[in-house]
Chain A
Amino acid sequence: MSFDNLSSNWSKLRVKRPQPDQYKDAPYKWAMVIDLDACTGCNACTTACYAENNLPVVGKERFLAGQAMHWLRIERYWGEGEELTQEFPEQGAEFLPMMCQQCESAPCEIVCPVGATHHTPDGLNSQVYNRCIGSRYCSANCPYKVRYFNWFDYPTNAWPSPLEQQLNPDVTVRSKGVMEKCTFCVQRLTEAKSKARTEGRIVNDGEVLTACAQACPSSAIHFGNLADSSSKVAKMWNAQQVELSAYPQKKDEQREKDEQLGKNEEVVRGYRILEDLRTYPSVVYLERIRSAEV
C-alpha cells in the first residue's frame, strides 16, 4: 500500500461507521440471531467450526497459555453479578456462544497498520491473511476477544498424516504470524452467491448456512440476509425491534422509562452484547428464559 494511495483515498478509508441505510439497496447483509433459550451449551457448533474452517488443535500446553484457536466458543456463567448469590445454581448455567460479531463499527478494522481487515460490501468483517503482519493490535482492540493469533506454525504439526486430508480446500490453512477469526463461513457464502448469480437471483433464505447454524441440534443459531426483508433473520430482528445502526435501541429507552415508572410491561428479548461500546454488532442474542413459577 503506497503512501500516495493512502493519502488520496484517506476519506474512503476513514469513513464514519456505521452508515445508516448502508444496506438499504445492497443485496446482502449477513447477520445472525442466537436464541440463548434454545442453546443447550452442547458444543456441537464449536466442533462443526473446527471441521469446516481448518482450525488447529493446539493441545493442552498451548491451551493453558490461552492460545486456543476456537473461533466460536461457548462461555459458561453461573450468575449475572460479581458474586455467587446462591449456594446452588438453581436456574442452571448461562451459556453464551461467542464468535466474531462482524461489528458494523469494528474497533479492529481501524487499527490495523497494514489494512488487513475491512468491511466487505455484504456486511462482514474481513480478515486477509496475506496482508496481516501480526501486530495483534486488532485483537487488543476487540472487546469480545474473538480474534485468534497463530503463534505457531500449525501446518507443520497440527495435522499428522492422514488428518490433513480432512482439511477444507475452500479455506486457507493459516501458518505462523497471522490473525484469524470467525468469517461467518465466507467460503460457503461465496459459493452460494456465485450459484445464485448464475441463476440471476440473490441467495434464498435458508439456502446457505454457517457450519454452526447447520449443526445446532436445537436450532439456536439462525443465520441469514438482513437486507432481504423476507428472510427469517430480518423478520426476527424486526420482531425484536433491534436496528443495525442504532444505539441505543428505541425499545431499550422505552423499557428504561417503563422500569422507572414501575410498569412491568412485556418485553421483547433481543439484545446485542456490549452494545454500549458502540460496536454495532451483527449478532442479536435472544435473552434466556427461566420460569419463575418453579
Chain B
Amino acid sequence: MSGSGVNRRDFLQIVGLGGTAMALSACGNTSIESGVELVQSYVQPENFVVPGVGVYYASTCLQCASACGIMGRVREGRILKLEGNPNSTISGGKICGLGQAAVQQHYSPDRLTTPMIRENGSLKPATWDKAMALLNATLTSADAPGRRVWLTGPTSGHHQVLLRSLIDAGGATDTVVYDALSTAVEASVNRKLFGVDHPVTVIEKAGLVLSFGNDFLGAGESPVAAARQYARFRKAARRGILVQIEPKMTLTGANADRWVPIKPGTEGVFALGLARELLQRKEYSGGISPALIAAVEPYTQVEVSRITGVRGDLIPHLAGMLWEHAPSLVLAGRYPQGHAHGSRNTAAIALLNVVLQNQGKTLLRAADLPFPQLAPTAGDFKSLAELNKAMAAGQVRSLLIHGSNPVYSAPDFLGFAANLQKVAFKAAWVTELDETAAQCDLVLPLLSPLEDFGTHIPLNQSDGIELSMQQPLMQKLYPETRSFGDVLLDLLKKTKPDSYKAFPDYYGYLKTAIINAKPAFSAQAEDEAFWEETLSAGVLHRAAPLLPLSAMEITPAMIEQPAPGGYEAKYPFSLIPAVSASMRDGRPANLAWLQESPDTLTTVVWDSWAELHPSTAKAMDVREGDVLLIESAQGSIRAKAYLMPGIHPGSVAVPVGQGHDAYGRYATHIGVNPLKILDPIFDQDTGELALYATRVAITKTDRNERFTKDEGATNLQQGRKLVATLAADQVDLSKEMPFVIR
C-alpha cells in the first residue's frame, strides 16, 4: 500500500476493524521511533558480555531438596530463564517445571522488600537497624530462661554449618528441622536394616522395579535425576518393567506397565505375601532366618487377597517376573509409611529387597562425604510435635523460622498457631509473607535463591560426590533484602567475634570454605582460579563408586502387621492427601505458572478437588463437580468431586498444596488444605505423623460447580490413534537408533 500513503494500521481503523488494529499495542514500541527509548551502554562489563547475546551462569535450584544444578540465561543484567546445568550429575542439563518457576519466585510482585516489625498488633515496615537490634536483644540474653529455637526446613551446606556454630556459641539453644512430607519412617527403617538413612536406588540397572507408591518420577526426592535414570531403564537392551502398587495413582503409577490398586495401609501385608511366595525358592530362602520364614507363613494368597483387595494370583505372577527380570528393585513410597504401622509396612517392603538379594546390585550406598558437616539433614514431624509441646508449656522463649511454614502445613490437632502465641519472640526469614511469617513479631526479607550465594549437597548422590554451588544470577532487585548467610554471619560475629571477624560477608566465608575444599576434590589450580572455575562450572564433583550395602538382621517384630479393620463406621473412607510434583508441601503454590500447569492426572488447574473412583461416586449418586463435605474427627473441608479411575474405591484423595490464606496473590484463598484435618495418628515406632491413616465421612452438599480443567469433554481417545500402545514383544527396540540420554 505504499502508493496510497495510508498504512495498514490506519486502513483497518478506518474500515472499522478497530479492535484488531490494537494488535500492535500502545504499550511498547510499534512504529519506527527515534529518541524515545533509552539504549544505555555498559560501564565496564566482563569481556564475555555481548549485548543481545545471553550469558549463562551456573547455580543451584532450591525448589526442593534435590539441589539440581541449573544455569540461568542472563541478558542485559537480568535473569530470563533457567535451564539445567549439564555439569550437574543430578540434573544433567535437564530441569523440571518447579525449577522453571523459580524465576517467578524471584520476580514475584508480592516479594517482601523491607523488614517488618509487629506494632500494636499488625506488621509494619521497619529498618534493618531496628530489626537487627531487636533480634540481637532477644538472642543474646542467654541468662533468661526458655529455649531459643531455630525452626528450619530440610537443609544442607554452609547454612547448616553456620546455624550449628551459632548454637554452639550460645546464640540459640537448638534447631528443629521440619518437613511436612517427611520420609523419616523410611529413613529409620533403612538405618536399622542397612545402616544408612538413604541407600542409593539405581533404577537404570533394574530389570523390574516394584514400587509401593514411590513417586520417583513425580513428587519423589529427586525427580529429575530419577526421570533420567528411568529413560535409560526403559531403553535398556531388555526393557525395564515397572509395577506400581498404591491406593491412588501417582505420576509414576501412570507410567507403570501394571498399576495395582491396593487398600490403604495393607502394602506391608502384600509385601509379606510376596515374600512368602519368593521364599519358596531355595535361591532366596538360603539367606533368610527360619524365624522370618515362619513369620511370613500366615500370608497366603487367599489371606493377602482378603486383606488387601488385590487378586491373589498376582503374587505368584509377580514372583515369577521378579525371578525372570533380575536384578529387581523394590521401593517404598509415602503411602505405606503413612500409617500407625508405617515402619512395619516399610520394613516388610525392605525385606523384599533383602530376599531378592538386591543389595549390591540395585540398592547401594553412596560414598562417604568428605565433609559430613555439610551433609543434608532431612526433616521430620516428630521434632515439630515435640517443639509444639514445649511451646504449649511456655518453654520456648524465641522461635526463629527459615524455610518452614508450619502454621499452614501442620495439622489442626497440634494447635500450632495457638501455641505460637505463647512464644515471646517469633521471627521469620522469607522472600514473601506466608501464614507463619504473618504471625511473627519480626519478619526479615530474604534475597531470592537467584540473588544469593550458597552451597548445597544433593539428597540423592548416585554418581560420585557432588557439591552444588549457588551464585547470584543478577543483582538483587530490592536494596533492603539480605542473604540468610549474611544474617547468620552477623549473629555469629556478635557471639563469637574472634572466629568470624575475618570474613567480611557470607561470600567471603564461602570463598574461604570452598578454597579449603580444594584437596577434597583433588584440584590443582591456584586459589582464585579454583574459585572462579567452581562458580563457573556450578558444581564441585569427585568421582566415587557406589559402595556395597549389607543387610542387617530383620526380626519378625519389625514386620509385624496389625489386625486389619477396626475403623469407626462413622468415617467409612480413607483420606489420601495426594502430593504432586508441582505443589509438593504447598511452598510453590504462589507461582502462577504452577497454578496454571494442569495437574498431571486430573488436569485440574487453580483449584482443589476430591478424587473418587467412578464406582464409589455412582454408589453415592455423586457426579463430577458435586461439592462434597469431607469430615474427619478433627474438622472438615469442602471440595468438588472428580471421578478418577486410578484410586482405590474406599478412598478419597484431596491434593496437598492449596488452601493458603496468606501467601501472595496467586495462592491465597484457592482450594483447600487436607493436611488440616488429619487425625492424630502416629507411626508406633518413630512417632512420625501418619499422613495416610485419617478416616473421613463424605456428604453431598447440594452444590455443583464446574471444574476448571484442561481435559475436554472426553478423556478417551475415541478411536483416533492419538496415543498408540504397543506390547513390549511387538517392537524391536534395537532397530531404533540408539540415542544418548544424558
Contacts and interface: CB of A to CB of B under 8 A. Distances in A.
A207 B592 CA distance: 31
B293 to A, nearest CB: 26
A68 interface: yes
Interface stretch (B356-364, B500-508, B711-719): B711-719
Nearest to A116: B23
B94 A217 contact: yes
B253 A42 contact: no
Given A79-B716, A289-B726, A166 B646 contact: no
B566 interface: no
A273 B109 contact: no
B593 interface: yes
A267 B730 CA distance: 6
Interface string B595-609: 111101101011100
Nearest to A163: B107
Nearest to A36: B723
A36 B721 CA distance: 13
A64 B603 CA distance: 12
Interface stretch (B165-173, B257-265, B277-285, B634-642): B257-265
A199 interface: no
A217 B725 CA distance: 22
B193 interface: no
Contacts of B239: 289, 291
A155 interface: yes
Nearest to A79: B716
A214 B254 CA distance: 23
Interface in B23-63: 23-25, 27-28
Nearest to B253: A92
Contacts of A173: 28
A149 to B, nearest CB: 11
Contact of A52 (B81, B94, B253, B597): B81
Given A155-B28, A290-B725, A239 B107 contact: no
Contacts of A47: 97, 100-101, 593-594, 597
Interface stretch (B266-274, B520-528, B732-740): B732-740
A214 B83 contact: yes
A37 B255 CA distance: 9
B700 interface: no
A91 interface: yes
A189 interface: no
B727 A289 contact: yes
Given A178-B23, A290-B725, A42 B223 contact: yes
B228 interface: yes
A291 B241 contact: yes
B259 A89 contact: yes
Q: Chain A: interface residue count, which band?
A: 35 or more
A133 B726 contact: no
Given A44-B96, A44-B97, A134-B20, A218 B230 contact: yes
A218 B228 contact: yes
Contacts of A219: 94, 228, 231, 739, 741-742
B130 interface: no
A80 B719 contact: yes
B143 interface: no
Given A214-B84, A239-B737, 19 more contacts: A38-B234, A47-B594, A57-B595, A63-B606, A63-B708, A68-B605, A70-B596, A70-B710, A74-B600, A75-B711, A76-B715, A80-B723, A81-B719, A88-B261, A94-B725, A160-B109, A175-B27, A216-B94, A291-B257
Interface of B: 1, 12, 17, 19-25, 27-28, 75-76, 78-84, 91, 93-97, 99-101, 103-104, 107-109, 208, 217-218, 223-224, 227-228, 230-231, 234-235, 239, 241, 243-244, 249, 251-261, 317-318, 321, 477, 581-582, 592-598, 600-601, 603, 605-607, 614-615, 645-646, 665, 670, 706, 708, 710-711, 715-732, 735-737, 739, 741-742
Interface of A: 2, 36-38, 40-44, 46-48, 50-52, 57-60, 63-64, 68, 70, 73-84, 86-96, 129-130, 132-134, 153, 155-156, 160-163, 165-169, 173-178, 211, 214-220, 222, 232, 235-236, 239-240, 264, 266-269, 271, 273-274, 285-294
